[in-house]
Structure 1
Amino acid sequence: MRSTKDRIRHTIGFEVIGLLIVAPVGSWVFGFALHQIGILAVVASLIAAAWNYLYNVLFDKAMLRFTGQLRKPVAVRVFHAVLFELGLLVVFLPMVAWYLDMSLIDAFIMDIALAAFYVVYAFVYNWAYDTVFPVANTGQGGKTAKAVVKSAC
């Protein structure tokens, strides 16, 4: 599994690059001032960063427990990205509606558009990150993934 330091690097990189894309593009696409989308994006990014860290730790533990490995084929990467975004949607919908003074339906449409972007972005970012910073298929203390799961049972 990845170290805490590696997970923090992963999360910071993900959120910073995401903000650099979402704030200006979101302002242009949705017709809100850059500072409105920017503030919302920063708050959402902080919430998402915490969720990202927790979600990825839990997802990796589940991968080890159920498959005995950390390698993520394309189907698992798609599932990983979609499930992550669904969790965020539940939190962000009321926040976006309140902050931008819009209906829940309009906030839902905006959230779906942003979630669609982030599903693709998360898929690409995580694949690229795993390529640049590969994770060994070992668990705690250099044990193989299967040995870690076996000792946890």
Structure 2
Amino acid sequence: MNWIRTMSPTTRRVVQAVLYEVGAVAFVGPALAWGFEQSMSSSLALAVLMSAVALAWNYVFNALFEAWESRQPVKGRSAWRRLVHGIGFEGGLALWLVPLAAWWLQTTLLAALLAELVLLAFFFVYAVAFTWAFDRVFGLPRSAGGA
């Protein structure tokens, strides 16, 4: 199990992103089917598409965040730094997902934004909790003073 704590930054980001998105699809697919009266196949397809966008954004955002984090004089991940991470990730993701949801659901950007806010509220908490749990299992990344 020592390999877990010595993953390269790239491997760590990929493992984190994939695990995060597996949980996301498991939640979003059924939630969309129930909340928007979509078929399960349509909602799962949208969830997978949203997940693909989120995977790409997760990788890019975490690389940028860790580059910024590595230049900070205080190492570690305080509650404040975790909140900044969650806000940055979810805010950037909304810029991608709102137009996608509007197109998929054939609705306005405003209606898609309102629908997305429900998911974003859930995912804000999920992102902070998931990252904390991931760090507990896999250790902190090098950028935060980890091995």
TM range (shorter): 0.7 to 0.9
Q: Deviations over 1:96-152 (max 9, x none)?
A: 11111112221011111111111111111100000001026x46xxxx96xxxxxxx
Identical pairs, percent: 32
Give me the TM-score of the superposition, normalised by structure 2.
0.86
Partner of 1:79: 84
Partner of 2:3: none
> CA separation in 2, counterparts of 1:13 and 1:68?
28
Partner of 1:88: 93
The structure with the larger Rg is 1
Q: Could you say what secondary structure the match of 2:38 adopts?
A: coil
Amino acid at match of 1:122: A
What does 1:134-153 align with in structure 2 at a 5 Å threshold? 134-135=139-140, 138=142
Partner of 1:28: 34
Partner of 2:44: 38
Q: Please, which runs of 5 or more residues in structure 2 have no aligned partner?
A: 1-6
Runs of 4+ in structure 1 over 6 Å off: none
Give me the TM-score of the superposition, normalised by structure 1.
0.83
Partner of 1:18: 24
Partner of 1:150: none
Partner of 2:4: none
Q: What is the CA-CA distance between 1:3 and the residue it aligns to?
A: 2.3
Q: Deviations over 1:43-89 (max 9, x none)?
A: 111111011011111101101112352x2111111111111111111
Q: Could you say what secondary structure the match of 2:63 adopts?
A: helix
> CA separation in 2, counterparts of 1:58 and 1:115?
21
Aligned residues: 139
Partner residue of 2:103 out of 93, 98, 101: 98
Amino acid at match of 1:130: D
Q: What is the CA-CA distance between 1:94 and the residue it aligns to?
A: 1.5
Q: Could you say what secondary structure the match of 1:72 adopts?
A: coil
Amino acid at match of 2:57: W
Answer yes or no: is the 8 Å Cα contact 1:27–1:33 preserved in 2. yes
